[in-house]
């Protein structure tokens, strides 16, 4: 038996969602670093909205526009100070139609 290998495109999933982006006020920031820790690197795979990506210098960057505010990255990286995590301002961010 085989399970067909489908390339998962999270962008297609996020496209279904409703967001109100707060321009110029990202609610999550990554602290500047030379080399990412294992947990920070894991976010490039584990973040369910794929907000974290590796740049060509091998550092982790974030674009939180598609963030669903689950808090996984906060659990993994806030204590070590690798990211700064806040909720978006009231009314902004993801707006679940069904939830």
Partner 1 sequence: MIEDEFDAIVIGAGMSGNAAAYTMASRGLKVLQLERGEYPGSKNVQGAIMYANMLEEIIPDFRDDAPLERHLVEQRLWVMDDSSHTGIHYRSDDFNEAKPNRYTIIRAQFDKWFSRKVREAGATVLCETTVTELVHDAKGKVIGVRTDRAGGAIYADVIVLAEGVCGLLGTRGGLRKMLKPEAVALAVKEMHFLPEEVIEQRFGLKGDEGCVIEAVGTTSRGMAGLGFLYTNKESISLGIGCLVSDFAATMESPYVLLDALKSHPSIRPLIAGSEVKEYAAHLIPEGGYKAIPQLFGDGWVVVGDAAQLNNAVHREGSNLAMTSGRIAAEAIVKVKSRNGPMTKRNLALYKQMLDRSFVLKDLRKYKDMPALLHTNSSNFFTTYPRLMSQAAQNFMRVDGTPKIEKEKATTAAFIKARSRWGLVSDAVRLAFAWR
Give residues in contact with partner 1 (CB under 8 A).
Answer: 1, 3-4, 6, 8, 10, 13-14, 16-17, 20, 38-39, 42, 45-46, 48-50, 68-72, 74-76, 78-79, 86-91, 93-99
What's the residue count for the chain? 99
Smaller CB separation from partner 1, 10 or 58: 10
Closest approach, Cβ 92 to partner 1, in A, equals: 8
36 near 2, Cβ under 8 Å? no
Closest approach, Cβ 80 to partner 1, in A, equals: 11
DSSP structural state of residue 73: H
Closest approach, Cβ 47 to partner 1, in A, equals: 8
**Nearest one of 43, 51, 50, 25 to 80, comparing CA atoms:** 43
52 near 67, Cβ under 8 Å? no
């Amino acid at each position: 038996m085989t399970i067909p290998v489908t390339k998962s495109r999270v962008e297609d999933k996020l496209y279904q969602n409703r967001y109100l982006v707060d321009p110029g006020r990202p609610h999550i920031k990554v602290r500047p670093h030379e080399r990412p820790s294992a947990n920070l690197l894991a976010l490039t795979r584990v973040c369910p909205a794929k907000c974290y990506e590796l740049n060509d210098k091998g550092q982790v960057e974030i674009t939180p526009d598609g963030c669903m505010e689950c808090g996984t990255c906060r659990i993994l990286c806030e204590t070590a100070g690798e990211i700064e995590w806040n909720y978006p301002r009231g009314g902004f961010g993801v707006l679940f139609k069904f939830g």
